[in-house]
Chain A
């Protein structure tokens, strides 16, 4: 390489596109990201917040009503002990997967394109986990005794049941939430310092100052910081796999046909990443439209890559769906066969929820196939539409798994339909209010793009980079 007589030409198609378009400078990045926080509150933001926060409040009122009167205000019954509650839980916790995957796994695999999207994705993860956490907490009949789940040594020497997947869930989700908060906050420190340094009002200086934990940007601090970030990334990576694997154990370790399936852990993880990326794009694409200045950081290239991940994980999920059908046939167990072919796919007209199954099939398996075409992957409208399909499809996947298995199980005498109550629907809608309100607050008060990390991938940060020079 050092031989100057041979001029090495990288083929055009192998040239990695720039991560920041238009050769923006470091200063430009700082300026444009900080500006979002520092400028006066835009009208669209106020309007949006005035819509989302009452929805969030409505959700909270529904929760208070439900706790006050009992789970009966929802639509659950015998035999459908779970329905929307756990569907919503798994839906939200699945969404919470993209953040960790982007921040940890892509960090460890040196996927530098992650830098412009990881902050928002992580924030989204946290807010999704907050929404997810609501459901298992309030779905229990006596929420005021939920502390029985904690392994507290007490005088009765009663411990939680360590054989129960639901208990593993408690540990898995709370660990995931703690580590995600930590990881997110650590990543924020240099940017908070930037905001502190730029802040003009005393209040902002104090708040960002406290949050920045005395960051000065010295070399020593950077060394420690990067090591801490790397360690946290290492710690988070297994969590990406563990959380949803354990959530899937809730079903896989049971004996219900349609739940008792060994394929669940990988299929749930793939599904979670699939749904998570769809939600990241659902939020980022409008944000990129609202803040044109970030278009140079979140580029078509990013969208293209995320669409590829959606295509990959969607295909894994589709494979899992087909494999479930195959095993149900091959296993020759009539109860399992019934669950898959009748209760879900409804090939003989006796199933009840085939619409949920076929919505799931279309949204999750068919719709992402359009991403085989690069043109489609880089078309923001197409990507946004497909992401909505995926969001819907992933919700129906959980609904299908939970309700079809319970509604029509072993003894036909105990079969029973399920339909949600108004309170139940409004509670779910309310969690969207909570999620969006939190995200709006995040966009308003914290840098939604990791300033320091993006600066690290600008051309300026790498004087030896040569591929732009020809």
Chain B
């Protein structure tokens, strides 16, 4: 393929207009009306409202030619249509191209590799070269590709809600800036992403307008953690938690493995959780929390405690640690923290503190990052006393300059001092703390400019709304959490004319440069490159990051006076008996509401509650009894004037005097997906009460609200030993030599050896695909579910159909609560990813009357969609219930409109949504059964590639071990899922399936599954009062109902 040279025509000054009628030429309203009547299908295309296939080709072709084009301003310059009649270099139809990029997040950039087909990004993967995530990602990165194609994204510049254009906006922008030469009266409010280019432009802007105000607001950000670090170690210091260095971890109200951590902490934890044998040095996790979180689910010891009592717990803990260490200062600090009452289990604290002290230098205490600064500072002091500094916690220099808070900005606004307010990203009208009264304050500004990817509550109240580019559409950059510089490379031209915040800042700073130049200039600055750095730049683009710039950890000592003062000044959190605390939790799906219009996220079950399309008031079974409510009953929460009505959801293991509600729901100005979903709890949150609000009263209303929960039943029903096997470290080391220890638990301890009357045709391919799921390192985050959805074109079905039990996820993460005595207050939580087990003796295959599901020689249970008539018999006969049926035509019908007679309903999917689809996976129609295929498209691609490489038409050569993997295995942040070729002795799966911990589900059915689960190991501290509870989930239902088998070691004894 010869290199293509683009010969674009000169940009015409006054282009020729081709027209078909005088009406079109004049473009009269009558003509437009006529056109809409005549061509309802194409009208929007001619209007330019929606991105169409033809329009898309324009973007697509041009995206290849993007590099090097200079954008003179934030106005969209003319782009030329480059047809595919002459092949574009590298682009082969149906073949994926991969580009390194980055997703900016508040925890630092997530380094990515973006899969694109014919110029459209379809799938996000982690950057395997980057040390922070090593090719893995999370739920939000996976689903961000759908945001790109959201047909309801902001498309136009709006002036007071009316469609306008960039020219008028720029004119007005100049007006605003003209009035203020030194920047007084100009203010900026930005979100919490850490972008070097933005920081550079900020300095330029502030250099030009020194009196301008710069504020940051991130509703679920870690500003209080930064503040605590500033108290403890001085301004500009940030604390980095090194879970990979910790033997003992104690978290207090901190979901470090879930929404209050990042991928680095998850991977750090998992690295110390993975075990290769009973002698492995596995970490131990103590969790104190008010509700079950992913972190609590992984814990070895868990104490349920109201979030407002976290300070009391830390006070008790600090006192114990001080006693053991003889640290007089810590003892003083602990005594100084004011708490109202201390309903803390003494024995628990004592033994926990003893364990932490025994592992001095290898222990880590993490306090909630939204707990009051004093509480977090006390936790840091405990860490220092435990010798954690420089070992399990490190300090680094903050990558961003300090900025004002939203409260300070609101104060300025209220004074009437702000003429021009620029809001870059975020949605403060919706999610600012209630006591800031943001909407009111914002209205005081003369001109408000809001740059955002969607038209939200804030845009509705802004004078100018400017559409923002998605991160996949424009050049951006970020620091990853390890401090490396990561470049965000665009993979498609902006679909809807969005611009980046950097472009806007550059414009304000008077810099005339396109986004690429802006980023390149930052790159030069960050890398201190001089002269021609294009080779380094090219390498950085290819790899996606520049690692030399990694921030080094710095040293600092605990600032004794500042900590003492902060703790002394802190008021006591009070929680009176009979009242509840209301805990604000970061939602695992819509975050602070920003992802409310993302259907994948709305339909993704919360990893713990399994709730979709809603938020709910989580409360304990005891609290529910007290209020006389059950799941789905609407309760009224009130605190003074504020009232809120929300459905209750009874969650085992929740603290009794606590109610948790996820923020981010109840959006009003949002696309059709997020509309009327959930209840907005932000009005209860204040700048002081970021985490919890005490003294809330709750009342039953008598009304019901339907909650769409994907898992109706959470108890194991005594089947733990069959389904989710686990053992404690002690039990395991006692049975270290027993090969069958984990294989003969539950019913398999008694079932006679399997034999089959029927032999299936030989599975004689050179490959045999299999999967292993390590339950010990799976945290249950559900990133695999989203990755599967993106990879396999899985539709969403809407709230109503989720209630009907018809969600389409090919894989799910089962979450069980279990306890030996059926105690719903103190259960254990277990997560288990469940996908098609690809049984060699597949029960689904024998019952299909039309041979639509059959076995391949390489061991896959495959579906022929074209052949399927939809009897659903296969799904009925599946012991794992992993098959999914298309009850409606989800790809053709709107989810709000499924019951309308098909013949008179609109059909079709928006063009932009079609662009997300993976071209190598069939989009299924209604009436067809589907299920996990082990990503057969990836398997085939690898096999074909191997065959092409060998140039032998006859024999299928073996695909190199672990050279590709399934979508779920690829995304898994803890690498708990491993996919590969069981016939290749060098592959990881071939070794894992022989692991002592390996077992197959329902082995006695003789289905010969190709998925091996690796049993979970709990590492309890035998001295703890609740040590006997660890691992109880798999004990309760041993075969003979308790006559024997109270411990797993006895379970194993049957072998």
Residues of A near any B CB (own CB < 8 A): 65, 68-73, 75-82, 139-143, 145-146, 148-149, 158-161, 163-167, 170, 250, 253-256, 332-335, 338, 350, 406, 408-417
Most chain B beta-carbon contacts within 10 A, residue among A76, A81, A142: A81
Q: Which residue of A lies closest to B718 (CB)?
A: A334
Interchain CB contact (< 8 A) of A413 among B834, B868, B925, B1039: B834
- Chain B residues whose C-beta falls within 8 Å of the C-beta of A417 in the assembled complex: 712, 805
Task: Tell me the bound Cα distance from A255 to B876 in angstroms.
Answer: 9
- Say yes or no: A256 contacts B750, CB within 8 Å: no
Given A81-B875, A334-B1037, A406-B876, is A164 in contact with B716 using a C-beta cutoff of 8 Å?
Answer: no
- Say yes or no: B872 contacts A141, CB within 8 Å: yes
A-B contact number at CB 8 A: 192
Contact digits for B998-1012, partner A, Cβ 8 Å, 1 yes 0 no: 000110010100000
- Chain A residues whose C-beta falls within 8 Å of the C-beta of B898 in the assembled complex: 69-70, 72
Q: Separation in Å of the B919 CB from the closest CB of chain A?
A: 24
- Chain A residues whose C-beta falls within 8 Å of the C-beta of B719 in the assembled complex: 334, 410-412
- Say yes or no: B872 contacts A81, CB within 8 Å: yes
- Say yes or no: A158 contacts B851, CB within 8 Å: yes
Interchain CB contact (< 8 A) of A334 among B714, B845, B880, B1039: B1039
Whether B850 is near chain A, meaning CB under 8 Å from some CB there, is yes
- Say yes or no: B816 contacts A412, CB within 8 Å: yes
Q: Which residue of B lies closest to A402 (CB)?
A: B876
Within 8 A of A (CB), among B698-716: 711-716
List 19 additional A-B contacts (Cβ < 8 Å) besides A412-B719, A412-B816.
Answer: A70-B888, A70-B927, A71-B872, A72-B804, A73-B899, A76-B872, A141-B929, A142-B868, A160-B850, A170-B849, A255-B843, A256-B879, A338-B717, A410-B1002, A412-B717, A413-B713, A413-B714, A414-B881, A415-B712
Whether B595 is near chain A, meaning CB under 8 Å from some CB there, is no
Contact digits for B800-835, partner A, Cβ 8 Å, 1 yes 0 no: 010011110000101110000000000000001010
Q: Which residue of A lies closest to B716 (CB)?
A: A412
- Chain A residues whose C-beta falls within 8 Å of the C-beta of B815 in the assembled complex: 413
Q: Which residue of B lies closest to A337 (CB)?
A: B1041
Q: Separation in Å of the B895 CB from the closest CB of chain A?
A: 11
* Cβ contacts A to B, 20 pairs, < 8 Å: A68-B902, A69-B899, A72-B804, A78-B807, A139-B871, A141-B868, A141-B926, A141-B927, A148-B869, A160-B851, A161-B851, A163-B846, A164-B848, A165-B847, A253-B847, A255-B879, A332-B750, A412-B713, A412-B715, A417-B805
Q: Separation in Å of the A153 CB from the closest CB of chain B?
A: 14
Given A78-B806, A142-B868, A332-B750, is A69 in contact with B888 using a C-beta cutoff of 8 Å?
Answer: yes
Whether B262 is near chain A, meaning CB under 8 Å from some CB there, is no
Interchain CB contact (< 8 A) of B881 among A82, A139, A141, A411: A411
- Chain A residues whose C-beta falls within 8 Å of the C-beta of B190 in the assembled complex: none
Whether B886 is near chain A, meaning CB under 8 Å from some CB there, is yes
Interchain CB contact (< 8 A) of A255 among B849, B851, B873, B1005: B1005
- Say yes or no: A142 contacts B877, CB within 8 Å: no
- Chain A residues whose C-beta falls within 8 Å of the C-beta of B877 in the assembled complex: 254-256
Interchain CB contact (< 8 A) of A414 among B868, B880, B900: B880
Q: Separation in Å of the A260 CB from the closest CB of chain B?
A: 10
Task: Tell me the bound Cα distance from A350 to B715 in angstroms.
Answer: 11
Q: Separation in Å of the B460 CB from the closest CB of chain A?
A: 36
Contact digits for B533-569, partner A, Cβ 8 Å, 1 yes 0 no: 0000000000000000000000000000000000000
- Chain B residues whose C-beta falls within 8 Å of the C-beta of A163 in the assembled complex: 846-847
- Say yes or no: A68 contacts B901, CB within 8 Å: yes
- Chain B residues whose C-beta falls within 8 Å of the C-beta of A73 in the assembled complex: 899
Q: Which residue of A lies closest to B758 (CB)?
A: A163
- Say yes or no: B718 contacts A71, CB within 8 Å: no
- Say yes or no: A78 contacts B747, CB within 8 Å: no
- Say yes or no: A333 contacts B747, CB within 8 Å: yes
- Say yes or no: B849 contacts A161, CB within 8 Å: yes
- Chain A residues whose C-beta falls within 8 Å of the C-beta of B722 in the assembled complex: 334
Q: Which residue of B lies closest to A406 (CB)?
A: B876
- Say yes or no: B806 contacts A77, CB within 8 Å: yes
Task: Tell me the bound Cα distance from A306 to B1027 in angstroms.
Answer: 67
Q: Separation in Å of the A66 CB from the closest CB of chain B?
A: 10
Q: Separation in Å of the A176 CB from the closest CB of chain B?
A: 17
Within 8 A of A (CB), among B872-908: 872-873, 875-877, 879-881, 883-889, 898-903
Task: Tell me the bound Cα distance from A316 to B116 in angstroms.
Answer: 65
- Say yes or no: B849 contacts A166, CB within 8 Å: yes
Decide if the interface of chain A is mainly helix, strand, loop or mixed.
loop
Whether B867 is near chain A, meaning CB under 8 Å from some CB there, is yes
- Chain A residues whose C-beta falls within 8 Å of the C-beta of B845 in the assembled complex: 161
Given A164-B846, A170-B849, is A140 in contact with B927 using a C-beta cutoff of 8 Å?
Answer: yes
- Say yes or no: A149 contacts B869, CB within 8 Å: yes
Task: Tell me the bound Cα distance from A416 to B806 in angstroms.
Answer: 10
- Say yes or no: B926 contacts A70, CB within 8 Å: yes
Task: Tell me the bound Cα distance from A170 to B786 in angstroms.
Answer: 40
Whether B723 is near chain A, meaning CB under 8 Å from some CB there, is yes
Task: Tell me the bound Cα distance from A411 to B724 in angstroms.
Answer: 10
Q: Which residue of B lies closest to A423 (CB)?
A: B899
- Chain A residues whose C-beta falls within 8 Å of the C-beta of B652 in the assembled complex: none
Interchain CB contact (< 8 A) of A411 among B814, B886, B903: B814
Whether B311 is near chain A, meaning CB under 8 Å from some CB there, is no
- Chain B residues whose C-beta falls within 8 Å of the C-beta of A146 in the assembled complex: 869
Task: Tell me the bound Cα distance from A70 to B903 in angstroms.
Answer: 12
- Say yes or no: A409 contacts B873, CB within 8 Å: no
Q: Separation in Å of the B813 CB from the closest CB of chain A?
A: 9
- Say yes or no: B876 contacts A142, CB within 8 Å: no
- Say yes or no: A77 contacts B804, CB within 8 Å: yes
Q: Which residue of B lies closest to A161 (CB)?
A: B851
- Say yes or no: B843 contacts A254, CB within 8 Å: yes
- Say yes or no: B805 contacts A149, CB within 8 Å: no
Whether B696 is near chain A, meaning CB under 8 Å from some CB there, is no
- Chain A residues whose C-beta falls within 8 Å of the C-beta of B875 in the assembled complex: 78-79, 81
Given A412-B713, A413-B814, A413-B815, is A72 in contact with B851 using a C-beta cutoff of 8 Å?
Answer: no
Given A69-B899, A72-B801, is A413 in contact with B869 using a C-beta cutoff of 8 Å?
Answer: no
Q: Which residue of A lies closest to B864 (CB)?
A: A158
Whether B870 is near chain A, meaning CB under 8 Å from some CB there, is yes
Task: Tell me the bound Cα distance from A161 to B883 in angstroms.
Answer: 19
Interchain CB contact (< 8 A) of B849 among A76, A149, A409: A149
Q: Separation in Å of the A166 CB from the closest CB of chain B?
A: 4
Whether B928 is near chain A, meaning CB under 8 Å from some CB there, is yes
Q: Which residue of B lies closest to A149 (CB)?
A: B849
- Say yes or no: A148 contacts B850, CB within 8 Å: yes
- Chain A residues whose C-beta falls within 8 Å of the C-beta of B884 in the assembled complex: 78
Interchain CB contact (< 8 A) of B816 among A145, A170, A406, A413: A413
Given A69-B899, A146-B869, A254-B843, is A161 in contact with B850 using a C-beta cutoff of 8 Å?
Answer: yes
Task: Tell me the bound Cα distance from A148 to B899 in angstroms.
Answer: 28
Q: Which residue of A lies closest to B843 (CB)?
A: A255
- Chain A residues whose C-beta falls within 8 Å of the C-beta of B807 in the assembled complex: 78
- Chain B residues whose C-beta falls within 8 Å of the C-beta of A76 in the assembled complex: 872, 887
Interchain CB contact (< 8 A) of B805 among A333, A335, A416: A416
Within 8 A of A (CB), among B925-954: 925-929
Given A412-B716, A413-B815, A414-B880, is A71 in contact with B851 using a C-beta cutoff of 8 Å?
Answer: no
Q: Which residue of B lies closest to A408 (CB)?
A: B713
Task: Tell me the bound Cα distance from A78 to B925 in angstroms.
Answer: 17
Q: Which residue of B lies closest to A68 (CB)?
A: B902
Task: Tell me the bound Cα distance from A19 to B928 in angstroms.
Answer: 56
- Say yes or no: B901 contacts A141, CB within 8 Å: no
Q: Separation in Å of the B678 CB from the closest CB of chain A?
A: 23
Q: Separation in Å of the A141 CB from the closest CB of chain B?
A: 2
Task: Tell me the bound Cα distance from A414 to B850 in angstroms.
Answer: 26
- Chain B residues whose C-beta falls within 8 Å of the C-beta of A333 in the assembled complex: 747
- Chain B residues whose C-beta falls within 8 Å of the C-beta of A81 in the assembled complex: 872-873, 875-876, 885
- Say yes or no: A159 contacts B851, CB within 8 Å: yes
Within 8 A of A (CB), among B836-860: 843, 845-851
Within 8 A of A (CB), among B949-997: none
Nearest 10 A-B pairs (CB), nearest first?
A: A141-B870, A141-B927, A72-B887, A77-B805, A81-B872, A413-B814, A414-B881, A142-B927, A166-B849, A167-B849
Interchain CB contact (< 8 A) of A161 among B750, B848, B1002: B848
